[in-house]
Amino acid sequence: MPELPEVEVVKKSLENKIKNLIIKKVIITNNKLRYRINRKEFHKLQGNKIKSISRRSKYLFINLNTGLSLLIHLGMNGKFFIIDKKKQKYKTSFYYNIINHNLKHDHINFYLTKKVKLIYNDVRKFGFIKIIKTSEINTNKHIKLLGPEPLSNIFNKNYFNKAIINKKKSIKDLLIDQKFVSGIGNIYCNEILYLSRINPSRGIKNITKKETNKILFYTKKILKKSIEKGGSTIKDFNSADGKTGGFQQLFNVYAREGKGCKTKNCSEIIKKTYISNRSSFFCLKCQK
DNA sequence: TTCTTTGTTCCGGA
DNA sequence: GTCCGGAACAAAGA
């Protein structure tokens, strides 16, 4: 579920907590993630200093002073926890449904200087971590084919209108196609199309220029807004019950099947269908 | 036991 | 060559 905003929030959080620390020890309790972890390779990270954290699409990079980087994808449920010297625990992000920290799913533990511990936790193990050369980030097979960042200036009217010429798929399939634009997943795609008042199953060839402008506008707006909300919720994570957090209220359609449309004066019920095997939520009345 | 969830990848057909 | 849709895959909770 982590899409671009969540990954960006994780990035900022890691920056605050682990930048400039040195990896003292790596303990791997389960090496079977999406791709198998090579224990020896990870143990060699001992002594490396964390220079910076960066992000591209839904990928995170922890860049080390030795020319190596950890390439991380959080998959569906991947998350980082940080425990500091005062034994305080921080979660680096939150998702629309809060999942509490279950130690059972801690797979990789990085012991850092200043008594900080970084934990990679992943219930489904769909995420992965690879060690690559920092200089080869852009040519890495996961990265090189990614389309533009949705918040960048490259993702603009000109790009959009050129990219959709002769395309036949649905508008929804286009928005979650990482080669077209990278970082949008099923959840934000549903939200963007609701705000743009476009039915997700519409074919691209029927989308007007006015509508592509709307999609561009709301894509940038909602991604930015979510990044802001993420930052503000992390601050008060420490409270024992993690069930608060206003993220869920942000959703207008996602996972709201059978509930009322949030548009003013609209009494429609949100519908759920499947497009390319992915759940799609929309209002029949508001989204044409 | 079966169904659901996701991003990514792969494959066959057009 | 390229595009597109469908299915497979990873794991675990309900």
Does the pLDDT value for residue A138 go beyond 50?
yes
Locate the domains of chain A by residue range. Answer: 4-136, 157-282
Does the pLDDT at position A20 exceed 90?
Answer: yes
Report pLDDT digits (tens) over A145-198.
888 999 999 999 999 988 888 788 889 989 999 989 999 988 889 989 999 999
Q: What pLDDT score was predicted for residue A103?
A: 80
The CATH H-level superfamily of A4-136 is MutM-like, N-terminal (3.20.190.10)
Closest protein residue to C5 (Cα–C1')? A276
Q: Which nucleotides of B are covered by protein (CB under 7 A)?
A: 4-9
Question: A68 to each of A73, A128, A199, how far by Cα in Å?
Answer: 16, 16, 44
Sign of CA dihedral A182, A184, A189, A195: negative
Q: pLDDT, tens digit, for every residue of A107-129?
A: 999 999 999 999 998 888 888 99
Protein-proximal positions, strand C, CB < 7 A:
3-8, 10-13
**Quick check: is A2 catalytic?**
yes
Q: Which two tokens stand for residue A38?
A: 């090579």
CATH, domain A157-282, list 1.10.8.50, 3.30.230.10, 2.30.33.40, 3.30.70.141: 1.10.8.50
A3 is an active site residue: yes
3-state secondary structure of A55: strand
* Residue at minimum CA to C1' distance from nucleotide C11: A124
Q: Is the CB of A104 under 7 A from strand C?
A: yes
A100 CB inside 7 Å of strand C: no
Say what the pLDDT of residue A100 is.
60
Q: What percent of chain A has pLDDT over 70?
A: 89
Residues near chain B (nucleic strand), Cβ < 7 A? A 1, 3, 57-58, 73, 75-76, 124, 126, 141-142, 176, 178, 185-187, 277-279
**What phi and psi, each to the nearest 5 degrees, are found at residue A21?**
-90, 160
Same fold, A4-136 and A157-282: no
For residue A185, the surrounding DSSP H or E stretch is: none
- pLDDT tens column, A68-111: 999 999 888 888 888 888 777 777 765 433 346 778 888 999 99
Helices (H), chain A: 4-18, 39-43, 157-163, 171-175, 186-195, 209-235, 247-250
**Active-site pick, A11, A56, A58, A214:** A58
Confidence of residue A38 (pLDDT cuts 50, 70, 90): confident
Nearest residue: Cα versus C1' of C2:
A167
- Tell whether the model's pLDDT for residue A233 goes beyond 90: no
- Residue A1 CA distance to nucleotide C8 C1' (Å): 20
